[in-house]
Amino acid sequence: MISKPIADGIREGRITCQFRRWDEPRVKVGSTQVTSAGLVRFTRVVRVNDVERISDRSARAAGMKDAAALRKALAPKPNRKPSPRGSKGGDTIYRVTLEWAGEDPRLALREEIPSDAELADITARLARLDKRETGPWTREILEWIRDNPRVVSKELAALRRVELLPMKVDVRKLKALGLTISHDVGYELSPRGAAYLAHLDSAR
């Protein structure tokens, strides 16, 4: 995950690399990741054999104060609980070189009113997301967001009687389709999402 301050620094060109403790590289050279500041492209991944040789310059390029601060951040944390993505870190440190690759493509997509063909495509994509043991969920959460815009996510999860982190993952899946907009507090439907729900309502 790339935090907002780091993402902003990458966009501005101040930050050109990141260091990660992994079991093995988790990004591929040439691939991109959507961040709060737009798309970030990974251009190189190399193993760091000796953290003591990391320079202050390299640390500052990663957004850290100096090499000592970076080494402290990279130190093993044996008691650390796994993240929501299931990771406690790894035994190998990697330096990932990266660059800003453009605006988040979802920003333009969410403003577009879908055509009939696009409505059918969205329906098919959501149907695939709905195929899980707990049953369909996409329409329900879209309607919840429509009826409870900008409600803090913790409260929205309580209203829906679901766990917070899995709900956030679900919303990100809908955001990737341009259907929702994330705010500092809560969510709302995008014009594309509102048009899709209107289409479903008209089909009842």
Output the pTM of the full model. 0.65
Provide the pLDDT for residue 82. Answer: 53
Question: Of 106, 122, 128, which is closest to residue 203 (Cα–Cα)?
Answer: 122
Q: Which 3 state secondary structure label does DSSP give 34?
A: strand
The counts of H helices and E strands in the chain are: 9, 6
List the pLDDT tens digit at each of the 204 positions of the chain: 799 999 999 999 999 999 999 999 999 999 999 898 999 999 999 999 999 999 999 999 999 999 999 999 999 876 666 554 444 568 899 999 999 999 888 888 999 999 999 999 999 999 999 999 889 999 999 999 999 999 999 998 998 888 999 999 999 999 989 999 988 899 999 999 999 999 998 876
Cα–Cα distance for residue pair 113/67, rounded to 1 Å: 49
E strand segments, the chain: 17-22, 32-35, 38-48, 92-102, 180-182, 187-189
Provide the pLDDT for residue 24. Answer: 94
